[in-house]
Amino acid sequence: MLSLLSQLEQSGLATWIHESGSLWGYPLILFLHTVGFGTLVGLNAAIDLRLLGFGGGIPLKSFDNTFRMMWGGFALNAVTGSLLFIADATKHATNPTFYVKLTFVAAGLFTLTRIRKNVFRASLADDASIVRQGKILGATSLGCWLIVITAARLMAYIAEYINA
């Protein structure tokens, strides 16, 4: 397993990302990863807030066309995240924070699909049971993304601690 990871890390592409020192290598991928994250989580958090009852005047249908953008943000991050992973494969694979992050990304995306199916596609009427379900899903979603952000920021610090 570890040899597979180090093979990945030593591939031409990974070496270029990691070691070229080019401003259009690693930093660009990191920047795109941040834009994808801002798009997905920024829009999703706004939906969560609305579901929790903040700014009650915002109609749910404001968000109809944002689902495609959120999935676009995720697609960008699946690609850029894979590139960032292969550039430091052994370091990330031995970092428990990385798995926490991945787990809660999956949980956050799953919650988003539930929000779409159970709240947006359900009649759109302000039925009390849908409102209550929306609140639970909104709070779950916000919680997942908070954990993702925290884990993502702490990855470098934890890696330093593990490898010290």
Partner 1 sequence: MLNSLNAEHLHLLLNHFPTVGYAVGVGLFFVALFVKSKELKQASLVIFIVMALLSLPTYLSGNAAHFALKDQAQLSESMVQAHQDAALLGLIFMELTGLLAWFELWRVRYISHPLNWSLPAVVIFSLVTFGLMARAANIGGELRHPEIGAPADATVWPQTALLAKAFVIGNPWVWPAAEIFHFIGLTMIFGTVLLVNLRLLGIISHVSFASVYRLLPWGIAGFIINFISGMLFFVAVPDQYTQNSGFARKMVLMVLAALTMIYPTVFEKVSDLKAEDTAPVQNRVIAGASIALWVAVIFFGRYLPYIGSE
d(CA 97, CA 80): 18
Token pair 């009390």: residue: 128
Return the amino acid letter for 49. Answer: L
Q: Which stretch binds partner 1 (CB under 8 A): 2-10, 19-27, 87-95, 132-140?
A: 19-27
Q: Which of 2, 64, 117, 161 binds partner 1 (CB under 8 A)?
A: 64
Site mask for partner 1 (CB under 8 A), range 20-49, x = bound: ---x--xx--xx--xx-xxx-xxxxxx--x
Long-range pairs for 25-28 at CB < 8 Å and ≥24 separation? 26/84, 26/87
Nearest CA to 64 among 14, 120, 144? Answer: 120
Is residue 96 within the footprint of partner 1 (CB under 8 A)?
A: no
Question: Rounded CA gap, 88 and 85, in Å?
Answer: 5
- Does residue 161 bind partner 1 (CB under 8 A)? no
Which range binds partner 1 by CB under 8 A, 1-9, 57-65, 85-93, 118-126? Answer: 57-65
What minimum distance in Å lies between the beta carbon of 86 and partner 1?
19
Amino acid in position 57? G
What type of residue sits at position 159? A
Contact predicate 96/158, CB 8 Å? yes
Among 76, 79, 109, 154, binds partner 1 (CB under 8 A): 154
What residues make contact with partner 1 under the rule CB under 8 A? 23, 26-27, 30-31, 34-35, 37-39, 41-46, 49, 54-55, 57-59, 61-66, 69, 145-146, 149-150, 152-154, 157
